[in-house]
Amino acid sequence: MEDLCNSSMRFFSDQHLCFADIIPPSEVRARIEVAVLNFLRILTSPAPAISDLPLINRKSSNRRVSQGLLTEVSWIFLSHSFCTRSLMRANAAKAFIRVWKVMEMCFQILVQEKRVTQRELFYKLLCDSPDYFTSQLQVNRTIQDVVALLRCSRFSLGIMASSRGLVAGRLLLQEPNEEVVDCSACGSSGHAISGDLNLLEKLILKTDARYIIVVEKHAIFQRLAEDRIFNQIPSILITAKGYPDIATRFLLHRLSRAFPDLPILALVDCWIRNTMHLQVWKYRDGTGGIQICLQCEMVGTPRR
């Protein structure tokens, strides 16, 4: 317990800890409690004040140290630049309060040993604090603020990725204590990817494929799976049906770690938007940070 408290106290004082961990609920609760205690300590001091919230800066200019530093899937590397949320600035007062509201709700979720999607969290906050949360975007941005403040992942806060991804082809996967799923026998619909990152991390993966192919369009994925292209080109097909969601990106990262010798190709058309999607696949691994998670080549289909 003493080690837990010490590590929780250090995370506020040590400015070199510029990453977000995947940590157990007890550690997250301890960090939230430290944040509250620090706030109250300053508020009740001889010179009382409302302290600003120090957040790691998430701007692209702050990501330079992440390049080439991927060593653990649970670490998200950022540099040492900080910004603040302040109650004393009129245009930021509600954003300041939203951070505390989200931390309060996450604390309750962790105590109950539950998980929620970002959408579920929005409805909970809309019912609990309608004056501060009127849109999903506000919730999404505040979650990012809480991650930047507590330096733990969204998954650690009890927020589960909502997945729409599919996988098909020459891949056997097995959840702990469950039957093996043969992704080549799932038909044109493929196998649905779980939104539980903890479950995805524990998957047992086996393959005899020679390639991993990221397919941007769902319709193209269905056609390739229906034609069983993975028998002609031994491959694993994966799609997020458009913009890559966290869980699907995380599974791709797991595949890249489990099978480091397999080339990863992307099948997209030549619109600039899809090139941007490719960058998300390439540079984000689903844990919420900016880091190189795999090497991905682009196989484009030219527009005519």
Q: What is the 3-state secondary structure (H, E, C) of 247-280?
A: HHHHHHHHHHHHCCCCCEEEEEECCHHHHHHHHH
- Catalytic residues, by residue number, are 123
Percent of the chain with pLDDT over 70: 67
Lowest model confidence (mean pLDDT) among 50-64, 113-127, 230-244:
50-64
- Using an 8 Å Cβ cutoff, are 104 and 28 in contact? no
Write down the pLDDT at residue 301.
39
The continuous run of DSSP H or E covering 181 comes out as: strand 180-182
Domain definitions of the chain by residue range:
2-159, 166-301
* 28 vs 156: CA distance, rounded Å: 7
Q: Which long-range contacts (CB under 8 A, 24 or more apart) does 238-242 make?
A: 238/165, 238/166, 238/167, 238/168, 238/212, 238/213, 238/214, 239/165, 239/166, 239/190, 239/214, 239/215, 240/164, 240/165, 241/164, 241/165, 241/166, 242/216, 242/217, 242/218, 242/277
Write down the pLDDT at residue 195.
80
- Comparison of pLDDT for 286 and 134, the residue scoring more: 134
CATH 1.10.10.10: does it fit domain 2-159? yes
Going by pLDDT thresholds of 50, 70 and 90, the confidence category of residue 224 is very high
- Comparison of pLDDT for 8 and 274, the residue scoring more: 274
Write down the pLDDT at residue 262.
92
Count the residues in the chain. Answer: 304
- Using an 8 Å Cβ cutoff, are 17 and 11 in contact? yes
Write down the pLDDT at residue 9.
38
Task: Provide the 3-class DSSP secondary structure of residue 283.
Answer: helix
- Using an 8 Å Cβ cutoff, are 43 and 36 in contact? no
Full-model pTM: 0.63
pLDDT at 247 over 90: no
pLDDT at 217 over 90: no
Tokens of 60: 């692209």
pLDDT tens readout for residues 2-39: 454 444 434 444 444 455 667 889 999 999 999 899 88
Going by pLDDT thresholds of 50, 70 and 90, the confidence category of residue 91 is low
Lowest model confidence (mean pLDDT) among 110-114, 145-149, 203-207:
145-149
Q: What does the pLDDT average to over 280-301?
A: 45
Other CB atoms within 10 Å distance of the CB of residue 219: 10
> Which residue has 């970002």 as its token pair?
118
pLDDT at 45 over 90: no
Highest mean pLDDT of the ranges 76-85, 126-135, 144-153: 126-135
Protein fold of 166-301: Dna Topoisomerase Vi A Subunit; Chain: A, domain 2 (3.40.1360)
pLDDT tens readout for residues 137-171: 899 889 888 887 888 888 889 988 677 899 999 99
* 75 vs 292: CA distance, rounded Å: 12
* 182 vs 69: CA distance, rounded Å: 34
- Comparison of pLDDT for 149 and 234, the residue scoring more: 234
* 72 vs 95: CA distance, rounded Å: 32
pLDDT at 184 over 60: yes
Percent of the chain with pLDDT over 90: 33
End-to-end CA distance of the chain: 64
Write down the pLDDT at residue 87.
62
Average pLDDT along the chain = 76
